[in-house]
Every structure is written in structure tokens, then in C-alpha cells.
Amino acid sequence: MTLRGQPIRRTLITALAVLVVIAVGAVGRDAFAGPTDHGKKLNAKEQVEALEEQWRVAQIAGDTATMGKMLSDDYVGISMTGEVDTKAQQLRRVTDRRMVLTKIELSDRKVKLVGAVAIVTSRALV
């Protein structure tokens, strides 16, 4: 895999912290009920995990339409090379094929719900 013509070493990348704001709109606030509602909280975690899988598949496919729907307008991301990207920059990188991912294997995924926010951490073999 290359980025801007430079090879990227295949390595295990640890996601420092990924805030998944998309879960708020897709899952709904009711799913993020207080800690006493264990069933709803588990269901919300499963829905966030499904969204993470949808995101992974969209990245591999270069599906910017799906990615654009999933990212909030105020999205700020940090790439594996340390670049800070806005939503528009992230989508442009995929459209321009400056970054092409052919495989993303996730492991050690943890989903933590804090009010209406889901915090997802994982390890990714890219």
C-alpha cells in the first residue's frame, strides 16, 4: 500500500481513541439510556459495532457516499501517518485514491457508551 507514492509499512496500528459521533444519529438517544437499563445499553453497543463494520467495509470499497453519510460535518480525524483531516479532506483522500486500503482487520475492539457518545477503541491490521 502506498500513500502519495511512498510505501507504508504494514504494521499493527493501535487506535488511540476514536469518537464515534455517528452513533448518536444512527442509534438514537433512547438506546444510550442510563446504566440501569442494561438491555438497551447492550443493544446500543451492538449497533455501534455494526456501524464500525459498515465503516470498515466502506473504507475498503472506497465508498465515499457511505462514508460521507456516516461522518459528521465537524469530523476531525488523525490518519495512520499523523495527518489531521476534516471530513472533506478525508473524503477527497479516498476519492483521489491518495490512500487505498485493501484490508482492515480489527481486533480488541471495545465500545464504551458515555451518555449520547460512543467511544470505540480497537487494534487494526491495515
d(CA 54, CA 66): 9
Q: Which domain does 19 fall in, by range? A: 2-125
Q: Count of domains in the chain?
A: 1
Q: What is the pLDDT of residue 97?
A: 86
pLDDT of residue 17: 31
pLDDT tens digits, one per residue of 38-93: 677 779 999 999 999 999 999 999 999 999 999 999 999 987 788 899 999 999 98
CB-based contacts of 28, cutoff 8 Å, min separation 6? none
Whole-number Å distance between alpha carbons of 124 and 13:
5
In CATH, what number is assigned to the domain containing residue 81? Answer: 3.10.450.50
pLDDT-above-70 percentage for the chain: 70
Instruction: Inform me whether the pLDDT recorded for 106 exceeds 60.
Output: yes
pLDDT of residue 5: 52
Is residue 26 within 8 A of residue 47, CB to CB? The reply is yes
